[in-house]
Chain A
Amino acid sequence: MAEWLALVQNETIKVWKKKRFAFVVLVLLVLIPVFVYAQMKIAQNSAEKFKGDWRAELQNRITDNTRALGSERIPEEWKKWRRALVQQLQYYLDHDMNPNTPNAVTFTRGYLDNSVTLFIPLMVLAIASDLVSGERSTGTIKMLLTRPVRRWRILLSKLVTLTLYVSLIIVTNAALCYLISGLAFGYQGWGEPIFTGFRVSGADVNVATVHAVPQYMYLLMQAGLVWCSAMTVAVLALMVSVLVRSTAASFVTMMAAVIAGTVLTNMASSWHSAKYLFNVNLELTDYLQGTPPPIEGMTLGFSLAMLGIWAAAGLAVSFAVFTKQDILN
C-alpha cells in the first residue's frame, strides 16, 4: 500500500510541477469574469424591462416559448423540448418560486450546467491527454517502465491521480465561480429552494415526483453528476493517451469526440441510436434540472449505464494495451 501510494505521489507531483493545474486555474480566472459580466448585462437588461418583477419575467419566458411553438419553421424535436420547458417553467410559476434568484449560488448552478459538456471536459483533457503520451513523447516512459514495478500498477497510479485531479478541477470550478460571481451578485442563496424531480417523456413533463431541495444540496448533487461525466471523459482520454504517442494527437482526438457530442445533442437528432454514444450522454445535470434529454428515451439511468459501459471499455483497453505494449521508440 505504501509503495503504491508512493506511485500516486509521483504522478501527482509530476502533474503539479508540469503546471497543468495552474494552467486550468489561469483559464478559469480569465473566463469566469467574462461569463459573470455577460450575465450581469443580461440581468441589467431584464431588470430594466421587468422592474424586478420575476413573475412577469418568467411569464414572458413562458409566452416566448409558447409563441415559438406556433412557428412552422421550428423543427418538431425542438417544439417538444420547448413544450416541456414551458411546462416546467409553468410549474415554478404556479408554485410561486423563482427558478433564477439572482445570486452567486444560482450563477454557479447555471455555470455547472453549461460547462459540463465542453468546458470541464476541456480542462480534464488538459491533464488526462498528457498522462501517458507525455511520457512517451519525452522518452521518460523508458525510465518509468524499467523500474521494478508492474505496469498495471503504474497505470493504476496514473488513473488514481487523474481521479484526484478531476475532483480538484470540478471543486475549483465551482469555488472560483462562486467567489468571482459573488462580487457581482452577492454571496447568499445557499438555502433558496429549487425544484428537482421533473420526469420528461416526449413533450410531457411528469410532475408527480417533483420536490424542492435547498440550493446547496442541488449544487452538491450537480457537482457529483458533473464529476461522473468528467470521469468518463477522463478515462477515455487516458485510453487514447495510451494508444496515441503524441499528446497533441491525443488531445485533438478526445476534443473532437466531445465537440461531436455537443453538435449531436444540439441537432436534437432523430437519429435514435446516437444515444448509445458516450458524448451525447454527458449532460447528466439536465436530468436534475428536468430539461428534456437530447434524444427521446434517454433517462438518468440510461445515461449512467452508457457512461459506465464506455468507461469500463476504456479502462479495459487501456490496461490491456499498456501492460502488453512494446515500447519501440
Chain B
Amino acid sequence: MRPTSWLWRGLGAVTLVCLIVLLAGFGLALKDHWAPSAGMAIPEASKPPAAAAGSLASKPELKITALGDSLTVGTGDETGNGYVKTAAADLSKAMGKPVRVINNLAIGGLRADQLLEHLDDKGYVDAIVQADIVMLTIGANDLFEFATDGGSLAQGSEISPEQLDSRLPVAEKRLSDVLAALRMLNGAARIVYVGLYNPFYDVESLRIPASDTIQKWNAYAHGFAAADGNATVVPTFDLFESDIGSYLSSDHFHPNEAGYARIAARIVQALQ
C-alpha cells in the first residue's frame, strides 16, 4: 500500500475529529452565552478555621490580619514593608514563635465608614475570623475630609480647624462602629489600633488646633479600648514630634521607612 494514502487516512480522520469537537465547543459556547442552562450545583463551602481563644503567649503560632488606610498599606515606605510586616517580624523574634500575616487588606484613602461596609465582605470576614491579632489604622481620612470640607489639599482647599472640631463626633461614631463590628466577628482576637499623629506639626498655624483634635480622637479610641479589655491603642502622637522631618516621607504626610519602624517597635512593646 502506498504510504501517503495511509498518511492521508490517518490525518484526515484525526483532523476531522478535531474539527467536529471544536465546532461542538463553539456551538456550546454560543448556546451558553445566549441561552444558558441552569448550571451545575456548587459544592458547599468549608468554613475557615476560627481563631482559638487564649492569650497570645499561649498560642503556638500568631496570625495577623491588617486593615485600614494608607498607613497600614505602608504608603511612603520605599521598602514596601510598612509597619505590618516589620511588626510581624519583630514580634516573631521577640516571642520566639512564628508570626504570619494572613492578609493585609488595607486600601489607601479608606474612611471608617467604607471600612465598615467592607467588613461584610466574605474575604474580610474570613481573614478577620482566623486572626489572633487585628491591626488597623483608620479615621485619618475621615478627619481630613471634614477638615477640608471634602476638598483636596492639592486643589488648594484650606484646612479649617473649626470645621474639624465640630464634626469630630461623627467620626468618633464611625470608629466605634468599626471596632464593635470587629469584635462581633472575632471575640478572641487582640485588636491593635494604631493612633493618629499630627502630620502638620511643622506647620505653625495648624500645630496647636490640629493637635488638639487628634488628641481628642486618640483619647476616644483609648476609652473604647479600655472598655473592650482585649484591645490596645498604640500611641504615635509623640513619635514624630521631636524630629518630624526625618520620619516623614517626601509627601509630608505618610511616615517613611524609619517612621514605620518606630510604629512597629511600639506595637511589639504593646503586645508583649
Contacts and interface: CB of A to CB of B under 8 A. Distances in A.
A66 interface: yes
Nearest to A304: B30
A53 B101 CA distance: 12
A225 B4 CA distance: 32
A281 B222 CA distance: 57
B28 interface: yes
Interface stretch (B116-124, B160-168, B255-263): B116-124
Chain B contact residues, majority secondary structure: helix
Interface of A: 8-9, 12-13, 16, 50-51, 53, 55-56, 58-60, 62-63, 66-67, 70-71, 90, 93-97, 163-165, 167-168, 170-171, 193, 196-197, 209, 211-214, 217, 220-225, 227-228, 287-288, 300
A196 B33 CA distance: 9
Interface residues of B, number: 48
Interface in B83-134: 100, 102-109, 121-124, 126-127
A59 B65 CA distance: 12
Interface centre among B7, B33, B121 (most CB of A within 10 A): B33
A220 B33 contact: no
27 contacts: A8-B12, A9-B8, A12-B12, A16-B7, A53-B48, A55-B122, A56-B103, A56-B126, A60-B103, A63-B103, A66-B107, A165-B15, A167-B19, A171-B18, A197-B32, A211-B38, A212-B40, A212-B41, A214-B40, A220-B24, A221-B25, A221-B29, A223-B22, A224-B27, A225-B25, A225-B26, A300-B33
Nearest to B47: A96
B19 A12 contact: no
B161 to A, nearest CB: 26
Given A90-B123, A96-B122, A171-B21, A227 B26 contact: yes
A43 B191 CA distance: 32
A191 B131 CA distance: 33
B227 interface: no
A108 to B, nearest CB: 13
Contacts, number: 146
A250 to B, nearest CB: 23
B14 interface: yes
Contacts of B150: none
A165 B7 CA distance: 14
B29 A13 contact: no
In the A-B complex, the 3 residue pairs with the smallest Cβ-Cβ separation, listed nearest first, are A224-B25, A211-B39, A59-B123
A217 B28 contact: yes
A224 B24 CA distance: 7
B189 to A, nearest CB: 16
B42 A67 contact: no
B39 A212 contact: yes
Contact of B100 (A51, A163, A168): A51
Given A60-B103, A95-B42, A213-B39, A228 B8 contact: no
Contacts of A97: 42
